[in-house]
Amino acid sequence: MNAEIVSVGTELLLGQIIDTHAPVMARILADCGIGCTRRTTIGDNWERLVGALSESLERADVLITIGGLGPTVDDLTRDAIAAALGDELEEVPEVKEKLERFFSQRGIPWNPSIGRQAQKPTSATLIDNPNGTAPGLRCQKNGKVVIALPGPKGEFDPMAHGPVKEILSTLQGNQVIHSRTLRISGMGESQVEAVIRDLMDTESPTVAPYAHTGEVHLRLTARAESREAAARIIDPMEQAIRERLGSHVFGVDDHRLEDAVIELLEKQGATLAVSESMTGGELGARLTSVSGASKVFLGGAIAYSVAAKEDLSGVSRETVEAHGPVSEETATAMAEGIRKRLGSTYGIAITGNAGPTVDVDNKPVGLVFVAMAWEGGSYVDRSQFRGVREDIRRRASQVALGMLRNKVLEQV
Amino acid sequence: MNAEIVSVGTELLLGQIIDTHAPVMARILADCGIGCTRRTTIGDNWERLVGALSESLERADVLITIGGLGPTVDDLTRDAIAAALGDELEEVPEVKEKLERFFSQRGIPWNPSIGRQAQKPTSATLIDNPNGTAPGLRCQKNGKVVIALPGPKGEFDPMAHGPVKEILSTLQGNQVIHSRTLRISGMGESQVEAVIRDLMDTESPTVAPYAHTGEVHLRLTARAESREAAARIIDPMEQAIRERLGSHVFGVDDHRLEDAVIELLEKQGATLAVSESMTGGELGARLTSVSGASKVFLGGAIAYSVAAKEDLSGVSRETVEAHGPVSEETATAMAEGIRKRLGSTYGIAITGNAGPTVDVDNKPVGLVFVAMAWEGGSYVDRSQFRGVREDIRRRASQVALGMLRNKVLEQV
């Protein structure tokens, strides 16, 4: 059994946005034991779209489309699937009512193109889309399965990982491809590779490294008759890698560094406050992206200006004047100040110059200080990063999370 | 004249790495006036690869392949192009000598598969690759042009932007495709379309809407003999759209809502402080992602806990107790409090429940209050959003930026 993925949209085709959905879908197919043999990107053009879908249906057992289900005249996927399958379109009254309710509640006047979202090809059943107005489609005809998903990320992701994965996993009897990703911080890709090189020669599971900003991922993949059997092939390899890399492995699969930190803080029964200058709130945003962060994260200061460093983070004017806002001393005073202010177990602070130019204080682009304070102690890290503003900020928040994790690991 | 791009590699196909090269290539094609009509991703499989290349050659005038030119047995693109074109392979002695020199200097023993990189289809000329061992290919046969590029980024990028762009720009006499994107906030996609539907029927420029979280993009595209001539076709359409949508158009191309806000604040000579509960710092992170934000952005509070709302954002305990942390009153007190604390022209605050569960205060998931305060006044917005945690937070920061922009627009 093989599958093809067709991504629909002129913006995608012309490279104005990067397609991250098709890779997600390809990995889900692999998890369900269905080989993905081709991916196609096509624009919002009726003839080319119908052509691409028809060709895919000739070659593949399963066709998955992403995008083009919206309400505008550019959104052609629903109609094109019907055309490729030789189906008619029919209206689904419940969806139409739902749409009417949705738009009238928001005071948006109805227009006929909205109503297109209430149509489906005759051979289709609907896949619920709790985060948007366009439902997904599942068509079964002539031995082929067609699944259509909407393009917006907030709608695509939960549908792909939820109901669509469930449908796909029932299609292929007894072979699954299962992967597990180990997430590593505090080591670069070549360091990781040097330590585990001999383990990377195995055939099952395969071990492949991927570099990300401030972390490295190792993907372990095995094929077996069930997810459990594949997991049993992967388990000893995970164990062997963990023995070599120790606490550098901070998470598995979707478990991010911020998830690991919040979890550890909760385990310790500790609380946290932050003071951010250069990152402007990014560290706080990452921490609070974790559901339940409020149990351990109290909040903090966006200490961007000198005034905010003083008023909100308790840094004395003398410290800033003597050492400059981008300094070991100011970073430490920020961490200690915010900890005292909010009465938290830990305080963590970031100050630096993210560029693009040398700052007023004459500090080079990429110079970053991350400080941490606790009852009776503090620690400060100095880094010199390369890259653009966004990378430098991301790396700084990554250092802060890594530092927190190491400290809490000593306590729990 | 139209082109197709074929990306080759099992890792790409299975979604283990994201394809960023094909989007780069698509944009280069557009700059050279060549329409990209399809992109295909195919694995390292001989029959499927030859099939995909042959099909592309039937449909397109120009075929560009990316990847699969390396020395391993997995690298099939060179041979597959020869097969699809009906060419033989021949060895290029100069390339073979260069390879032999390269490998012997590095003490790497020669093996026959390295020698494959010295071969080329008979109809091909070589494209120099200064950063790698595999040269690129340019084949011209039966009125078709095939260009093959290597996959490693350090080799692909300079070749694509250099010699390949030069070759492509000579193919299509003197036609370029130029696009401009208008960014719109405060209206949904279907509302925008309802207002400009008649304008969307034009053929040049084409007008296509795209929905993003909390904003809509309209892409205007024209084909002409030069970038300037295309811009002259787009200008009157931009004007016509701006007349209908007014100040809802906040930016062009890469100009984000946060860029527009920082720019307007600077124009007014105003300063800003934020107080973020639910978003945990995301609004601050977005504002400070703008280079030069420090001229207008003073900082603020991540008022996640009730204690932080009181200590850092000057909200009274009575207000929180009487109305709850997720309320109009608390939002307003946060905005007024942080404005007073940092002495800024404007204060803006966000509180809400991003989910996934109904909060302690019994407020539904997605309920968000955004408040703004200034000398002698304040304003508060109540929204009920759908979607996952990440979307709700993004939409909330989007409302805050839109509110700020509207207020500052009144002043400048």
- A44 CA: distance to closest CA in chain B (Å): 9
Cβ distance A294 to B304 less than 8 Å, yes or no, reads yes
Cβ distance A341 to B312 less than 8 Å, yes or no, reads yes
Amino acid at A167: I
Question: Radius of gyration of chain B from Cα atoms?
Answer: 28
Cβ distance A18 to B20 less than 8 Å, yes or no, reads yes
pLDDT at res. A344: 98
Amino acid at A168: L
Can you tell me the distance from the alpha carbon of B329 to that of A208, in angstroms, rounded to the nearest whole number? Answer: 53
pLDDT at res. B360: 66
Chain A residue numbers with beta carbons less than 8 Å from the beta carbon of B294 are 304-305
Cβ distance A71 to B391 less than 8 Å, yes or no, reads no
Q: Enter the tokens of residue A249.
A: 């492995």
Tell me the pLDDT tens digit for each residue of A242-279. 999 999 999 998 899 999 999 999 999 999 999 999 99
Residue A242's H or E segment, with its range, is helix A227-245
Residue range B122-149: average pLDDT?
Answer: 94
- B22 half-sphere exposure, CB direction, 13 A CA radius: 34
| A-B Cβ pairs (cutoff 8 Å, strict) | 284
State yes or no: pLDDT of A361 exceeds 80: no
For chain A, the first-to-last Cα distance in angstroms comes to: 48
Q: B380 vs B161, which has greater pLDDT? A: B380
Cβ distance A154 to B36 less than 8 Å, yes or no, reads no
State yes or no: pLDDT of A69 exceeds 90: yes
A87 — contact with chain B (CB < 8 Å)?
A: no
- B368 half-sphere exposure, CB direction, 13 A CA radius: 26
Of the pLDDT bands very low, low, confident and very high (cuts 50, 70, 90), residue B255 is very high
In 3D space, the residue among A345, A336, A359, A326 whose CA is nearest the CA of residue A275 turns out to be A336
In 3D space, the residue among A30, A9, A289 whose CA is nearest the CA of residue A168 turns out to be A30
* Prediction ipTM score: 0.78
User: Which of A98, A302, A351, A363 to mutate against chain B (most B CBs within 10 Å)?
Assistant: A302
pLDDT at res. A325: 95
Residue range B25-36: average pLDDT?
Answer: 88
Chain B residue numbers with beta carbons less than 8 Å from the beta carbon of A298 are 304-305, 307-308
pLDDT at res. B335: 98
Question: What residue of B is the nearest CA neighbor of A46?
Answer: B37
pTM of the complete model: 0.78
Q: Which of B19, B188, B210 sits opposite A11 (nearest CB)?
A: B210
What percent of chain A has a predicted confidence (pLDDT) above 70? 99
pLDDT at res. B57: 97
State yes or no: pLDDT of B361 exceeds 80: no
Q: Enter the tokens of residue B143.
A: 């009125």
Whole-number average pLDDT of chain A: 92
State yes or no: pLDDT of A224 exceeds 80: yes
Chain A residue numbers with beta carbons less than 8 Å from the beta carbon of B24 are 15
Can you tell me the distance from the alpha carbon of A19 to that of B257, in angstroms, rounded to the nearest whole number? Answer: 23
Residue range B214-234: average pLDDT?
Answer: 90
The residues with which A368 forms a beta bridge, in sequence order, are: A352, A383
For chain B, the first-to-last Cα distance in angstroms comes to: 48
Residue A199's H or E segment, with its range, is none
pLDDT at res. A234: 97
Question: What residue of B is the nearest CA neighbor of A115?
Answer: B190
A374 — contact with chain B (CB < 8 Å)?
A: no
Residue range B155-183: average pLDDT?
Answer: 86
Domains of chain A: 2-171 (3.40.980.10), 177-252 (3.30.70.2860), 257-411 (3.90.950.20)
Tell me the pLDDT tens digit for each residue of A296-344. 999 999 999 999 999 999 999 999 999 999 999 999 999 999 999 999 9
Cβ distance A27 to B45 less than 8 Å, yes or no, reads no
Q: Write out the E strands in A99-172.
A: 119-121, 124-127, 136-141, 144-149
Residue range B307-320: average pLDDT?
Answer: 95
